[in-house]
Amino acid sequence: MRIKKKKFIYLISPTKINKSFYQDLTKVLQQKKVSFFQLRLKKETLRKKIIIGEKIKKICKKFNVKFLINDDVFIAKKLNADGCHLGQKDMNITKARKLIGNKIIGVTCHNSIKLSKIALKNKADYIALGAFSNSKTKKIKYRASINLLRKVKKITKTPVVAIGGINSSNYKNLLLNKANFLAISGYIWDNKNLKPIEAIKKLK
Q: Are 152 and 115 in contact (CB under 8 A)?
A: no
Task: Give the model's confidence band at 1: pLDDT under 50 very low, under 70 low, under 90 confident, else very high.
Answer: very low
Tell me the pTM: 0.95
Q: What is the mean pLDDT of residues 156-182?
A: 97
Helix or strand run (H / E) with residue 68: strand 66-70
Question: Residue 180: which of 204, 159, 149 has the closest Cα?
Answer: 159
Q: What is the DSSP string of 146-201?
A: HHHHHHHHHH--S-EEEESS--TTTHHHHHHTT-SEEEESHHHHS-SSS-HHHHHH
* pLDDT for 3 beyond 60: no
